[in-house]
Amino acid sequence: MTALPAPTALSTAAVSVLSKNWAGSHTLPASGLYPHQWSWDSGFIALGLRHVEPDRAQQELESILSGQWDDGRLPQIIYDVSRDDDYSPGASFWRSTDLPAAPVVPTTGLIQPPNHAWAAWEVHRTNPAASERNDFLPRVYPRLVAWHEYLATRRNRGGRGLASVIHPWESGMDNSPLWDEALARIPDTPQHTIRRPDLLHADAGERPSTKEYGRYFWLAEQYRDHGCDDLGGKDSFVLEDPTFNALWAQSELALALIAAALGKDDSGHLARAQTLTDALEHLYDDDLGLYVARDVTTGALVRKPTISGIIPLILPGLAHAEAVLATLMGPGFLAAAPHMVPSYDLRAPDFEPAQYWRGPAWFNMTWLVIFGLRVQGAHSAEADRLAANLQSLALEHGFPEYVDPLTGAPHGTRNFSWTAALALDLLHRSV
């Protein structure tokens, strides 16, 4: 097992990253490549901040909640309009403030995985005094309920209770192989019309291609031009993703704990968490031994073995937990990956160790796998090994966005906030 870094060195460096990326009310994922507030990033960031600055952890979550729409959605991004040219598509593309249901702050119309209630409960649980001093739970609970109701009422496109994503960006795993078949149905956009300020901060070989970006833009334009209407539009990309729905189920369990702490009825949250956990079985692929996405448009399962299909291990009572654990520990994932968990089966012919979500190991996904192993009460030595590796690689390489799962070499941007936050979280759990 990789030796753990010195706690003081890791803590000092991680806190420094989070301080440098602080933008006054929230934390930027990375100040150059990602100059706005991202939704699920803030959830992960709050999990680290809770140990060192509990008030700021609360503020992190309340900041993303300030972008909530009237229909309950939490947007993928809240924009800093002063940096509109630094990221594409920006606020001027979405024009969200022209829509009556949108907030006064400029946002996307898209969403991201719902880890916010889980983060809110952990922030409260770690420092109840700071939470109670600020009336944190009473303030955030109704907004988190509205967010989950949005998913239940407007994103149940497949009719089985699972939320659908209508754009790859909504999954948080932009160019995952899970989306290839659906994206192939999307018309190409002339590449000269696509702005790529991201390539000023990252190697093109580590980012989605401009052809892929063209399809992302086409989907975003279609959704925008239909008023970001989930009920009236005819979206060309509609998929049920395992990780998105596992995080929703986990956050429903957290909402139950929040409700109980506030003296409210928790039964509805517990029931929905169980319904979601049961509904995930519609995404299980017995041959692959993990969960996959389902293309709601065609009804077909997308049989690609990705990290998304392993993340449901975070849920207690998962029907196929033993099979998924066997897949995780097998040759496609941890048996051949000495550092962290790859985002795609190492044996896949199109596995790429440095190419965004097509192979690299991500710190948030490895953190979720560690949590899942703890929930399942399985492979504790492997969980310890992964936790040590995550902390060591984070510090050694300047808190990179992701790493090569075979060599540990860093890729993407550096000083990445959720890498720092989750390393900090694991450090505090081990001391």
Break the chain into its structural domains and give their ranges: 7-430
Smallest Cα–Cα separation from 294: which of 1, 304, 327, 108?
Answer: 304
Determine the pLDDT at residue 203: 76
> In sequence order, which ranges of 21-135 are alpha helices (DSSP H)?
39-49, 54-65, 91-94, 116-126, 128-133
By the 10 Å C-beta count (0-12 exposed, 13-18 middle, 19+ buried), 3 is classed as: exposed
pLDDT tens digits for 290-336? Answer: 999 999 999 999 999 999 999 999 999 999 999 999 999 999 999 99
Determine the pLDDT at residue 293: 99
Question: Is 206 designated active site?
Answer: no
Exactly one of 55, 71, 84, 174 is catalytic; name it.
174
Question: Is 401 designated active site?
Answer: yes
Determine the pLDDT at residue 190: 64
CATH number of 7-430: 1.50.10.10
**For the chain, which ranges sit under pLDDT 70?**
1, 190-193, 200, 233, 430-431
pLDDT tens digits for 129-168? Answer: 999 999 999 999 999 999 999 999 999 999 999 999 999 9
What number of residues does the chain have? Answer: 431
Which residues share a beta bridge with 77? Answer: 38
Distance CA 40, CA 11 (A): 22
Exactly one of 235, 241, 401, 425 is catalytic; name it.
401
Determine the pLDDT at residue 274: 99
